[in-house]
Amino acid sequence: MFGLQYIWDSILQYEAMLRSPYFPVLFSITVYLSFCLPFVILDVLSPRVALIRRYKIQQKTSVSWTMMWSCLALSLYNHAMYIFPLSVLHWYWRPVSYPAMAPGLLRVIWDLAACLLLFDFQYFVWHLLHHKVPWLYRTFHKVHHKYTSTFALATEYSGAWEILSLGFFAAVNPMLLGVHPMTEMLFHMLNMWLSVEDHCGYDLPWATHRLVPFGLYGGAPHHDVHHQKFKSNYAPYFTHWDKLFGTLHSE
């Protein structure tokens, strides 16, 4: 509790910035690109360094600068044209309240798990529908499947509807569950990291799916198969929904 309180007190020193309508979009793009950067470095080095390439899931593929710039440009465009205006509207209609007390550690862990599991279910349903209904796939989701070999900057290579609808789930879940603002920030960071890791294209020894036991978490290999096969592995993170619906496909 005391460690979290110290961190929360440090964050509250910048409360004026947190209340700014610019903060959500700057927070989103900064965290996203920071998480992408290590994998971008791996993508640049992997064609020349065998030690890195051995961990690449699709070893015969490579990521060009053109591919990376294309994905980066679309991500920046979506943030400027859609996420920023909506964050301003949210700032105007629903001002955020920042309590003085930090949440307890167990409450943070519980709320993070609840937010993540709820988002995982919502994403699974959304994703399944956008593959099973041809019009939804052609109109909205097809752009994200431009690259059958995933890489980090392709995480947000999506059209406006996909960015906004999935972003809506991520934004509304902490409000529905009534979590602390600190937990909400941590959830957004965790959600972005797991999403980038899903698309990174590398099966690293310390990856999340290797840390979670019993095959409960799919990770990058799980999602890479989805981009190759299209008709399996619809859940973004955990594997239980794909197991239940018979859509789980191993490597």
What count of Cα atoms within 13 Å lies in the side-chain half-sphere of residue 214? 4
Q: Residue 86: what pLDDT?
A: 87
In the block, residue with structure tokens 């009534």? 178
Cα dihedral across residues 66, 50, 195, 35: positive or negative: negative
Tell whether 81 is covered by a domain: yes
Range of the domain at 241: 1-245
- Buried b / exposed e over 42-77, threshold 16 CB at 10 Å, is bbeebeeeeebbebbbeeeeebeeebbebbbebbee
Tell whether 189 is covered by a domain: yes
Rounded average pLDDT over 132-150: 96
What's the whole-number average pLDDT of the chain? 94
CA distance 224 to 240: 17
Cβ neighbours of residue 54 closer than 8 Å, sequence gap 6 or more: none
Tell whether 22 is covered by a domain: yes
Q: Residue 87: what pLDDT?
A: 86
Among 154, 143, 183, residue whose Cα is nearest residue 70: 154
Q: Is 26 exposed, middle or buried (CB count within 10 Å of its CB: 0-12, 13-18, 19+)?
A: middle
Q: Residue 2: what pLDDT?
A: 67
Tell whether 250 is covered by a domain: no
Are the CB atoms for 9 and 37 separated by under 8 Å?
no
Are the CB atoms for 225 and 149 separated by under 8 Å?
no
Is it the case that residue 152 has pLDDT exceeding 70?
yes
Is it the case that residue 188 has pLDDT exceeding 70?
yes
Residues 4-32 pLDDT 10s: 999 999 999 999 999 888 999 999 999 99
Tell whether 181 is covered by a domain: yes
In sequence order, which ranges of 178-218 are alpha helices (DSSP H)? 181-199, 208-211
Please report which confidence band the pLDDT of residue 229 belongs to, taking 50, 70 and 90 as the band edges: confident
Overall number of domains in the chain: 1
Tell whether 150 is covered by a domain: yes
Low-confidence winner among 35-39, 88-92, 208-212, 239-243 (lowest mean pLDDT): 88-92
Low-confidence winner among 2-11, 38-47, 156-165, 170-179 (lowest mean pLDDT): 2-11
Is it the case that residue 91 has pLDDT exceeding 90?
no
Rounded average pLDDT over 172-192: 96
Tell whether 116 is covered by a domain: yes
Tell whether 148 is covered by a domain: yes
